[in-house]
Structure 1
Amino acid sequence: MAFTRAPGKHRRPGRVQRTTTRNVGVAALTTTGVLGTLAGPALAAEEPAVEQTGLNQIITLGDTVADQVDAQAVAQQQAAEVAAVKKKAQEEARKAAAEKAEQERAAAKEREEIKARAARAAERERLNAYVAPINGSYISTGYKTGGAVWSSGSHTGVDFHAASGTAVLAVGSGTVVEAGWGGAYGNNIVIKMNDGTYTQYGHLSSIGVSVGQTVTPGQQIGLSGATGNVTGAHLHFEARTTAEYGSDIDPAAYLRSHGVNV
């Protein structure tokens, strides 16, 4: 019989085979609980202690991986909590900013409303105000002054001193009901005031308004002159209860009742 290697010679098992066999043996002996009785002195002398075998290293490595996984999970949880806190803070900041903006808008709106109310009140006050028909002038002929120059026998209005061409002003708010020639009054304007009374402006050199036009206090409506039955340039001013001649009232008292110092 032929041999491929010398008799009595046997190849040593490889490292992998020995290690595998050893591990399997240790595992089997450990499972049966007879490692101490079966191994014997030779096995104890030949093999290292169990705590230094690959089995122990595998257990240790598993613990390390588990710790790393736990640590990673904790870190992820902490990161999630931090992100949640940050998101909540951002949301609260956004809400606070929105509330502040809304408060500012409300405050601005309130300021505008207050300003608008003040403007309306000022406009109402202005429209309800009265002024003298000639700025810086004075009454040269009083109400009910007698004389042949007046057809009624007395003065039905008052005369304001004014050179020809002086601006004549509406004494208050109203609507023009007459604008043109008025006989003895010359060029004249009659205005129905907002309080229901009427005012007349006579002897004008020119007329600057038309019938149906609304006027406001202090608005220029014409220029003084000497048209009609006059002896010189001035403004004839009357206050009436109606638009008709003969319904006159004291014009000076009328202006003073509306706060005009004449």
Structure 2
Amino acid sequence: MAFTRATGKHRAPGRLTRTGAKAVGVATLAATGVIGSLASPALAAGASPAPAADETGLAQIMSIENTLADRIDAQAAAQQHQADVAQKKAAAEAEAKKKAEAKKKAEAKKKAAEKAARAKAKAEAAARAEEARESTSRAARSSARATPGTSYQLPVAGSYVTTGYKSSGSLWSSGSHSGIDFHAASGSSVVAVGAGTVVEAGWGGAYGNNIVLRMTDGTYTQYGHLSSIGVAVGQSVGAGQRIGLSGSTGNSTGPHLHFEARTTPSYGSDMDPVAYLRAHGVTV
């Protein structure tokens, strides 16, 4: 056979190159008649030398490979760019979501603070209103005590109890005190604790000079040991109106005012005078 091989060392082509070269070689051999010469030794004996690579199409194959590689690189670069864009977009969306949640929490906190402030202001306003009502009520009660005929009050202004209700002792025939004693110097003004009508005014035995009033609520009050009486039976009196002067008449050890609250005008129907006065708004 007339095949020759150039001398020298050559680098082995890659798989794709070898495959392409093989295909091109086969095509080239077919085109040049080498295959035919292999099939016919007689024809091969006079054949010309193998054509150059650029004449066989190998250069074209290599160019195609390079173009394909460039396309793959371009496609990879495009995919990487898309991935980078998607990553940046996801990061931006996450940051925006984080900011939105922070804003929402801040607004919720602000609303809660405003609600608490409104509730506090409302409670303070209610407390002030209640305090104003109470102040007005106290003023009204104080005014009523100071104005005759409008409300219950102490029988001796500014006085205090010296002997309590149901105190025991030999001074009382029943063995216990049927009323309470108010401190009062002789000649102190004695007033009606509330509005009523005089049902007794005169000597009352152990009570000395005494007055009994039928109050407008149907109860009765008694004022004993008076030095003088300033009203008459059947007379209407108002709360705070003077009805007599304190003294030490009857069964008494010294000047004071004996005061009773009763369910009837008679002795023995007494009830707790302190509770009675307090029930009518009087501080005792």
SS of the aligned residue for 2:162 comes to strand
For structure 2, list consecutive stretches of 5 or more residues without a partner in the other structure.
1-143
- 1:252 pairs with 2:244: no
TM-superposed deviation, 1:134: 0.3
Map of 1:202 onto structure 2 = 224
TM-score (norm 2): 0.48
Q: 1:150 aligns with which of 172, 176, 185?
A: 172
Q: Is the 8 A contact 2:221 2:260 kept in 1?
A: yes
SS of the aligned residue for 2:260 comes to strand
- 1:192 pairs with 2:204: no
Q: 2:155 aligns with which of 116, 119, 133?
A: 133
TM-score (norm 1): 0.52
Q: Percent identity?
A: 73
Map of 1:175 onto structure 2 = 197
In the alignment of these two chains, the number of paired residues is: 139
Map of 1:117 onto structure 2 = none
| Structure 1 stretches of at least 4 aligned residues deviating more than 6 Å after TM superposition | none
Aligned partners of 1:223 and 1:138: how far apart in 2? 17
Aligned partners of 2:261 and 2:231: how far apart in 1? 19
TM-superposed deviation, 1:129: 1.2
TM-superposed deviation, 1:229: 0.1
* Deviation string, structure 1 residues 129-186 (Cα, Å, up to 9, x no partner): 1010000110000000000110010000000000000000000000000000000000
| 1:1-262 equivalences in 2 (<5 Å) | 127=149, 129-262=151-284
The structure with the larger Rg is: 2
Aligned partners of 1:175 and 1:229: how far apart in 2? 26
* Deviation string, structure 1 residues 8-61 (Cα, Å, up to 9, x no partner): xxxxxxxxxxxxxxxxxxxxxxxxxxxxxxxxxxxxxxxxxxxxxxxxxxxxxx
SS of the aligned residue for 1:254 comes to helix
RMSD of the TM alignment (CA)? 1.4
SS of the aligned residue for 1:203 comes to strand
TM-superposed deviation, 1:128: 5.2
Aligned partners of 1:128 and 1:164: how far apart in 2? 27
1:166 is matched by which residue type in structure 2?
Answer: S
For structure 1, list consecutive stretches of 5 or more residues without a partner in the other structure.
1-121
SS of the aligned residue for 2:199 comes to strand
